[in-house]
Amino acid sequence: MQIYLPIAEISVNIFLLLGLGLGVGFLSGMFGVGGGFLMTPLLFFIGIPPAVAVSTEANQIVASSASGALAHWRRRSLDIKMGLLLLLGGTAGSIAGVQLFAFLRSLGQIDLIISLSYVSFLGIVGGLMFIESLGALRRRGRDQTATQPVSKRRKRRLIDRLPFKTRFPSSGLYLSVIPPIIIGFFVGVLAAIMGVGGGFIMVPAMIYILRMPTSVVVGTSLFQILFVTALTTFLQATQNHTVDLVLALLLMVGGVIGAQLGARAGRKIKAEELRIALALMVLIVCAKLGWDLVATPNDLFAILPMREGGH
């Protein structure tokens, strides 16, 4: 059964969209990731215009992060102060990202930049995750009790020398406000350009750069993602008119059901195997997008719409 999407202006099979939502939702529930980094490229592959795919995916992420953020809020397993600083940077980043998106679109290079961003980020994150979880699996096999010595004394780093220091009671940190704002900004730009929540960048950044305790990392990241994607949706709808409500609703329906099923399935699988599977999946999407960049295209010419109003 075909359904015509009013903003994307194409006709797509309704079961394909529900299935995509269900599938990506399942994986995101199982691995505890947002799924934007998988859904947005898949939407490109089925022919949704990139601008519509990115904006609409931001809208879907609002729905998928809302329930998680609420759960963490109830348990107070998030650092509100850190979250607000990340959000401050994220807001600026989202505004800048939406402008950058419009500018790149006018140059006819938006598809290239989106693909390049995906290939580089997915390659780095997937590669690191793969190596790390493979190592963890090998350690577990060799010796169950072996733990790496953790030094209590932290080395003084560049990040500790920055001004405007403040206390973060929930995380137990005394840190400059600059790094969270910069990280938030960076993730906000990515959210607008790549149509992702940015959790896959933010969570490692919080752990390794800000050194936040793992207990509050996921909640804080969801808090930031919820507000930044909500803002991105609003800005894209106001400025570019590229949010497709019909597409978003269909993806949400499949997404929330899939996420619940995936979360149940995920409890039965061991963490290391799960991480390796996720890493492999990330690398496959990366390889497909990378191949499309270097392989000789079927048609060497591309037809691109003029910007509204022309120039």
Among 19, 108, 135, 172, binds another protein (CB under 8 A): 108
Q: How far is the CB of 298 from another protein (least distance, A)?
A: 10
Beta pairing partners, 165: 176
Q: How far is the CB of 131 from another protein (least distance, A)?
A: 25
Among 11, 120, 166, 215, binds another protein (CB under 8 A): 11
- Interactions with another protein, residue window 237-256 (CB under 8 A): 237-239, 241, 243, 245-246, 248-249, 252, 256
Q: How far is the CB of 305 from another protein (least distance, A)?
A: 6
Residue with tokens 């910007």: 307
What residues contact 283, with CB distance under 8 A and at least 6 apart? 122, 123, 126, 127, 130
Contact between 270 and another protein by CB under 8 A: the answer reads no
Closest CA to 290 of 121, 113, 119, 122: 119
Q: Residue-wise over 294-308: b if at least 16 C-beta within 10 A, else e?
A: eeeeeeeeeeeeeee
Q: How far is the CB of 310 from another protein (least distance, A)?
A: 6
Q: Binding residues for another protein, how many (CB under 8 A)?
A: 55
Residue 89 or 254: the one with the smaller Cβ distance to another protein is 254
Q: What is the CA radius of gyration of the chain?
A: 20
Which H helix or E strand runs over 176? strand 173-176
Q: Give dist(CA 62, CA 217) in Å, integer.
A: 18
**Per CB under 8 A, which region of 78-86, 136-144, 155-163, 301-309 contacts another protein?**
301-309
Provide the token pair at 11. 């006709």
**Per CB under 8 A, which region of 103-111, 202-210, 266-274, 275-283 contacts another protein?**
103-111
- Interactions with another protein, residue window 36-75 (CB under 8 A): 59-60, 62-67, 70-71
- Interactions with another protein, residue window 140-169 (CB under 8 A): none
3 state SS of 51: helix
Between the CA of residue 174 and those of 88, 139, 219, what are the distances in Å?
A: 19, 34, 20
Q: Would you say how long the chain is, in residues?
A: 311
DSSP 30-72: HHT---HHHHHHHHHHTT--HHHHHHHHHHHHHHHHHHHHHHH
Q: How far is the CB of 241 from another protein (least distance, A)?
A: 5
Residues that bind another protein (CB under 8 A): 1-4, 6-7, 9-11, 59-60, 62-67, 70-71, 108-109, 111-112, 116, 230, 233-239, 241, 243, 245-246, 248-249, 252, 256-257, 260, 293-294, 296-297, 299-306, 310
